[in-house]
Structure 1
Amino acid sequence: MSTPHDHAAALAHLAALLADPTRAAMCLALLDGRAWTAGELARHSGVAPSTATEHLTRLVQGGVLTQHRQGRHRYVRLADERTAHLVESLAAHATPPPAPARTLRQDRAAGALARARTCYDHLAGRLGCAVTEAMTHQGLLDQATGFALTDTGLAWFDAHGITLPKAGRRPLARACLDWTERRPHLAGAAGAALCAWVLDSGWCVRVGSGRALRITDSGRTALEELWGLPTPV
């Protein structure tokens, strides 16, 4: 039987894994929900491949990441949706130091992430939070005692052909604190299904290889018709 000391030690170990800036940068990159190679994460984090391998090994051994090999490549991704939720929530609570002068390209990239992005497998940024608030105002989502789809919300998903799982360990709806907006967006199985539907419908497309999303012309129309959202969000 575990003791309070055991729990404290486990928490300290997890905190230590995320306390390193390079490992934190890797986890933030992996919030796009996709698998990255060790080489891609090394370039993203600005470290040597050998250094990246050491960091990734620690994250895998600590249960933060999972890995699989395909040929000579080693792919890693966040262990699960709960881990993604933890990383996003910690980022939202962290207050970054004053940013140094940035290039126009960096400013544009930061602005794109803030407008619309994926958080693991659900919508985030201003878009994700705006959709969440609109669903709440329309009675599809209840935030009174935590996140829960209402009967009207379940019927809405069904009417739009968005399949929700009947059962599973993953919550159907949960709040995820958005790290740029500092307010919640919809996560869980419903958030994942909604994000997949938006992407499959072509209403949002990925910007490059990162997490940022761009709202298409058809997406702007859909956002207005479905949720009454102004464009740009």
Structure 2
Amino acid sequence: MTTRDPRATALARFAALFADETRAACLLALLDGRAWTAGELARHAGVAASTLSEHLGRLVAGGLLAEERQGRHRYVRLADARIAQLVEDLAAQVPGPAARPRNLRESNAGSAMARGRTCYDHLAGRLGIAVTDALTARGLLQQETGFALTDAGTEWFDSAGIALDRRSRRPLARACLDWTERRPHLAGVAGAALCRHALDTGWCVRIGSERAVKVTAAGERALSDLLGMDAAALR
């Protein structure tokens, strides 16, 4: 007689948290790394606030979301970088676009997301891939046996004034499969530090209400100087 693995029930319950379109829409929206109110997520998912409240309760109880309250407002965010990685990895397994854009606005938003976006706390899309390729071409990042910063890479971050949190339990560099480019971009401590620096210094700015970002003129100059990147590849 075969004994069922005792983890099977817990795994099935955990997987079921993702198996709902409204909850999936919330998880994907929260990949922008910010905290959202329940009302904002309800509007984004196109459901009533009461409906969303039930879904959020399940996601918080299941450990996928963390909840914060400020006065009358309820905020939720992804529980941590590990959950963000799981959501992004699952999204990357979806073959091709789920549906054609219904109008020009959706088409433009999709194009902007593919061009450059944040993936929780690091850069993704063509921008993220271009930065990853530039780091690799300059010998600052190696990809042969998984992503790892070289000694020259850690020196480059220091010289560029991009602080790396070496006390973090996260890997210094990690490959994250890009769901639009189908290639890995840089994540981990280094990816998060680079993205944070790019936003804080104005190299990149957020656009629209999604996760899309674009490189500014200052960012084009900085990335050209620091990584030899072609400005045309950043637009």
2: CA distance between counterparts of 1:103 and 1:68?
A: 35
Residue 28 of structure 2 corresponds to residue 25 of structure 1: no
Query: How many percent identity over aligned positions?
Result: 66
Aligned equivalent of 1:110: 110
Q: Secondary structure at the residue paired with 2:6?
A: helix
Aligned to 1:57: 57
Which residue in the other structure is 2:42 paired with?
42
* Residues 9-158 of structure 1 aligned to structure 2 (within 5 Å): 9-95=9-95, 99-100=99-100, 102-158=102-158
- Distance, in Å, in 2 between the alignment partners of 1:169 and 1:225 is 31
Post-superposition offset of 1:130: 1.1
5+ residue gaps, structure 2: none
Shift of the alpha carbon at 1:221?
2.1
Give the stretch that moved more between structures: 215-224 or 77-86: 215-224
1:200 and 1:14 map into 2 onto residues whose CA distance is 36
Inter-CA distance 117–4: structure 2 relative to 1 (3 Å threshold): farther
Distance 1:73 1:150 in 2: 45
Counterpart AA for 1:112: A
Structure 2 CA distance for aligned equivalents of residues 100 and 180 of structure 1: 14
Q: CA deviation at 1:13?
A: 1.8
RMSD (Å) for aligned C-alpha atoms: 1.6
Give the TM-score, by structure 2 length: 0.93
User: Aligned pairs, how many?
Assistant: 231
Q: Which amino acid aligns with 1:196?
A: R
Q: Provide the C-alpha distance between the structure 1 equivalents of 2:176 and 2:14, rounded to a whole number of angstroms.
A: 19
Aligned-residue offset at 1:6: 3.0
Distance (whole Å) between structure 2 residues aligned to residue 136 and residue 153 of structure 1: 9
Give the drift of 1:132: 0.8
Is 1:177 matched with 2:181? no
Amino acid at match of 1:188: G
| Equivalent residue number for residue 5 of structure 2 | 5
Shift of 1:147: 1.1
Cα deviation, residue 22, structure 1? 0.6
Give a deviation string over 1:29-54, Cα, whole Å, max 9, x none. 00000000000000000000000000
Which runs of 5 or more residues in structure 1 are unaligned?
none
SS at match of 1:54: helix
Q: Which moved more, 1:45-54 or 1:200-209?
A: 200-209
Give the secondary structure class of the aligned counterpart of 1:154.
helix
Amino acid across the alignment from 1:199: L
Tell me which stretches of 4 or more aligned residues in structure 1 moved more than 3 Å.
Answer: none
The secondary structure found in structure 2 opposite 1:179 is coil
Output the TM-score relative to the length of structure 1.
0.94
The aligned amino acid for 2:83 is T
TM superposition shift of 1:225: 2.4
The one-letter code sitting in structure 1 at the alignment partner of 2:90 is: L
- Which region of structure 1 is more displaced relative to structure 2, 84-93 or 200-209? 200-209
